[in-house]
Amino acid sequence: MSRPRLALAIAAAAIIIAAIGLGAVISGSLAGPQPSGTSPTEATGPSDPTAKPPHTLTDPLTGGTVSDHPVVAAKVENIAAARPQVGLSQADITFIQEVEGAQTRLLAVYHSRFPKRVGPIRSARSTDAQLLPLFGKPGLVYSGANSSVQRKLDNASIVPIQRSTRDSRRVAPHNVFVNLDNIAKSKRLAEAKSIGWTFNDAAPQGATAASVKLRVGRDTFDFKYSSGRYTVRWNGSRYADSGTVTKADNVVIMNVRNHPDGNRDVQGAPSVQSDTVGTGAVMIYRDGRKIEGRWERTKASAPLEFIDQSGTAIALKPGQTWVALAG
């Protein structure tokens, strides 16, 4: 090879080598600094094979596996003539509400599963119109309402679902039962949204409390802790549905403002509204322990938050929750 051609070949080789080196520098700068002795692929993988996987989503109502089901609430009667109630053991959240005459009714909220039989179903109240938008746009199954309450339901973020199917084996008016599994298939119902609750498997710090007892209206509710859960009793009797005893993983007692809503029943007793917008003291029981704090909710569409005395969110145990609105 002649000298000019040799010089040209050497120059070309130098240019190629320089280009390769520059590409490596650029590639290294884009990948960022790497630990000594590790490749870029190794550096992006987990350094500890026993490390926990990334955080997975939890269901906003139960803290368990996320369900894409809608939310359907059922207004369940809670007097002696209504027993035994059916379907309570499968509710994700159950609210205890005071109504006229110092009686109570239950608002059973279903999301992860829908029983084929729930009841006895009774009429709605003003408390429902303020409380239920917490869940986005849930369904409310009820057997009627006076005109004032019905207007509130119609104007709220709720899908009203009136039912009057009666079971002839029960005495009226305590005999309206519904198939919630069929109702939950309605296309009008929206998916569940966050309601402001947090969940954690770890047992919290708090005073030991093996049992909880309170009055709502003239009724006494007690929750006895055993084998990791609370058995629910009303005036000394358990709720049992075809042999399945109703239990809870969390018991929440919210101090709320009760006041007449302007309606009266057929005997003239004033109807009660329990305000769940605002703030008040809260006591939460889980894992046999008691945590005190406050609840907060700024408006009907806002989340319902539970905050401890240090300002930290109180985590519930994943599972089923009973909430008493105690005025």
pLDDT of 265 reads: 85
Q: Say if residue 23's pLDDT is above 70.
A: no
Q: Give the C-alpha separation, 69 to 59, whole Å.
A: 10
Q: Give the C-alpha separation, 327 to 199, whole Å.
A: 26
Q: What is this structure's pTM?
A: 0.83
Q: Whose structure tokens read 């966050």?
A: 194
- Which range is least confidently modeled, 9-18, 74-83, 265-274, 310-319? 9-18
pLDDT digits (tens, 9 = 90+) for 192-233: 999 999 999 998 888 999 999 999 999 999 999 999 999 999
pLDDT digits (tens, 9 = 90+) for 128-138: 999 999 999 99
What is the distance between the terminal CA atoms of the chain, rounded to a whole angstrom? 103
Q: Say if residue 15's pLDDT is above 70.
A: no
Q: What is the mean pLDDT of the chain?
A: 87
What pLDDT band is residue 106 in, cutting at 50, 70 and 90?
A: very high
Give the residue from 174, 214, 213, 215 showing the smallest Cα distance to 80.
174
pLDDT of 22 reads: 36
pLDDT digits (tens, 9 = 90+) for 142-199: 999 999 999 999 999 999 999 999 999 999 999 999 999 999 999 999 999 999 999 9
Q: Say if residue 19's pLDDT is above 50.
A: no
pLDDT digits (tens, 9 = 90+) for 109-122: 999 999 999 999 99
Q: Which domains does the chain have, with CATH numbers?
A: 72-326 (3.50.90.10)
Contact predicate 283/290, CB 8 Å: yes
What pLDDT band is residue 56 in, cutting at 50, 70 and 90?
A: low
pLDDT of 290 reads: 97
Beta bridge partners of 244: 241
Question: How many residues does this entry show for the chain?
Answer: 327
Give the residue from 315, 322, 318, 292 showing the smallest Cα distance to 230.
322
Q: How many CA atoms lie within 13 A of 324 on its CB side?
A: 28
Long-range own/partner contacts, residues 296-303 (CB < 8 A, 24 or more apart): 297/134, 297/196, 300/130, 300/133, 300/134, 300/156, 300/157, 301/133, 301/134, 301/157, 302/134, 302/196, 302/277, 303/134, 303/194, 303/195, 303/196, 303/197
pLDDT digits (tens, 9 = 90+) for 257-285: 999 999 998 788 999 999 999 999 999 99
Q: Say if residue 32's pLDDT is above 60.
A: no
Q: How many CA atoms lie within 13 A of 174 on its CB side?
A: 14
Q: Where are the alpha helices (DSSP H) in 132-280?
A: 147-155, 180-183
- Amino acid type, 265: D
Exposed/middle/buried for residue 67 (C-beta within 10 Å: 0-12, 13-18, 19+): middle
- Which range is least confidently modeled, 85-89, 187-191, 214-218, 241-245? 241-245
Contact predicate 132/154, CB 8 Å: no
Q: Which residue has the higher pLDDT, 169 or 52?
A: 169
Exposed/middle/buried for residue 74 (C-beta within 10 Å: 0-12, 13-18, 19+): buried
Check residue 92 and report its DSSP letter.
S
Q: Say if residue 297's pLDDT is above 60.
A: yes
